[in-house]
Each structure stands twice: as C-alpha cells, then as structure tokens.
Chain A
C-alpha cells in the first residue's frame, strides 16, 4: 500500500521558469492538501483540493501559484515565473475524508530557484 507519492524529490529552476510539482494521494484518498515549508520554518497550509474541485486556497499566494486535482492523475501544484523566494519544500498530504486527523504526508519536493 503505497503512501503519498511526490515527485520530483528535488527540482531546480531558473528564475522566470515554471515549476510543476506532482502528488499522488494514497489509494482510496480523495482529499489532497498542499503545504509549504520555508527554510527554518514549520509547514504552512496552502490549498485543499478534492477531485476536480478547489475547496480552500486561502493559503496560496494570489499570483503565479495554482493547483489542480483532475479526475484522473495526480494533483499538480504549478508555480509560474518562479522567483528566489519560492525556494522551499512543498509537501502534499492526503486523507480519505475531510479532516485534520487523518493526514499522511508525502516526502516533499524541494524546489530551488537559482
């Protein structure tokens, strides 16, 4: 029973490029959450998605960031025109139902913007 799968583990982008981070939830989980961890900080909530729906994106920066969770395939966090300040670890979590008691986190994607 595979856990939450995130890829790539490490991603390097030049300023101005696009970054695409992928998250496959655990089998049977239809709720996905993205968090960002800036250097030497705890994780901060970005967005909550269910299949084909964004439920809450209150933690997402208003510009350049978007997220989707299509009917088929992984959830994607997309960052357009990356800047140095986007360098962080991005974690995805999933749960079988809405709720903060059943989180399983992936191993994260470490984005470095050069």
Chain B
C-alpha cells in the first residue's frame, strides 16, 4: 500500500475514444504529478500541481488534459490518442518543495490500438 492509488491499472482504447485516468493520494500531500514511462526511456514528467494549481506543463500535447479538483485527486483526461502514447502512466505526490521524496502509485498501463 503506497498511499497513492491509480485506476484503472490497465486500459486499452482506440484512437478515437475518450477516457480518464484517476489518481488519489491519502498522504496529506499538497503536490501531485503525472509521469509517462515508455520502454527504455527515463520517466518523463508531464504535469505538476501544487495546491491544486498547475505549475508545470512539460510541453505535453493537448490530447492529454489534466484536472486537479483538490489536493487529493488528480485526473488525466485522454482523447484522440496516438499509438506512440502507449506507455505506463504514473501518478505521484509529495509535500511541496523539490527536496521532498515523491510517492508513486502503481501506474496505469495504457495501450492505444
């Protein structure tokens, strides 16, 4: 039990579908993150939210749309994805500040057909 829960764990979708990934943290943290992990690449930061405000968008295509309704929940809305978007999507949370370790969820394995 990591304190960060991601659903679903696996998702297969077509390029024209719309779906959402959900992340919930029970650690009382105030910063949340979305990462993408593709095969043989480093973890790529996508978005950062501090106190529900987006503070980082790492040049992510607009087909990925994050939403942070409160400091415990983070969503990633997906629409018209491409096959190269197939990857493991990881959510993390931490106390605000770059010297705080991030706690990760177990990820959503996304496959685009």
Indicate whether A and B interact. Answer: no
List residues of B whose CB falls within 8 A of some A CB: none
List residues of A whose CB falls within 8 A of some B CB: none
